[in-house]
Amino acid sequence: MERHITLLGILYLCYHTATLAAAFITWITFIGIGLISSSILENVLEFIPYMPLGTLSMIGWLISALLLAVSLPGFIAGYGLIKFKPWSRILAMIIAVFNLFSFPVGTALGVYALWALMNPEAVKLLSPKKK
């Protein structure tokens, strides 16, 4: 079961790295489109020269911030699973439930995470050690 937990931690890190990359690409794309449309509209419509830049930049920032906020707990859970921290099991299970709605890769990862983390061996492996 240790291999499943370690693999799950690595998968969490990889999946949420891809989410972070999507946030960066979204941010760059929206700001680029905003700059291009602003320069085009500045010549055509003089009374709203910077409106698209501000609106599209705000949308890009909001989407990127949302994706960043979703990916950070996944990084933390992935690190905790690799290090076999007791708190990582509950955090990873909560994230797995949310990943179920991200079809198809997130769904597969969520199902695998719930299967691996609800296993009695995993519960015993990731439970707090009594001194």
What would the two tokens of residue 105 be? 């890769």
Domain assignment of residue 130, yes or no:
no
- Residue-wise pLDDT for 10-55, tens only, equals 999 999 999 999 999 998 988 877 777 666 666 655 655 555 566 7
Total domain count, the chain: 1
pLDDT at 119: 93
- Residue-wise pLDDT for 80-127, tens only, equals 999 999 999 999 999 999 999 999 999 999 999 999 999 999 999 988
Domain assignment of residue 55, yes or no:
yes
Phi, psi of 50 (to 5 degrees): -115, 5
Record the pTM: 0.81
What range does the domain containing 82 cover? 2-125
Domain assignment of residue 93, yes or no:
yes
Domain assignment of residue 131, yes or no:
no
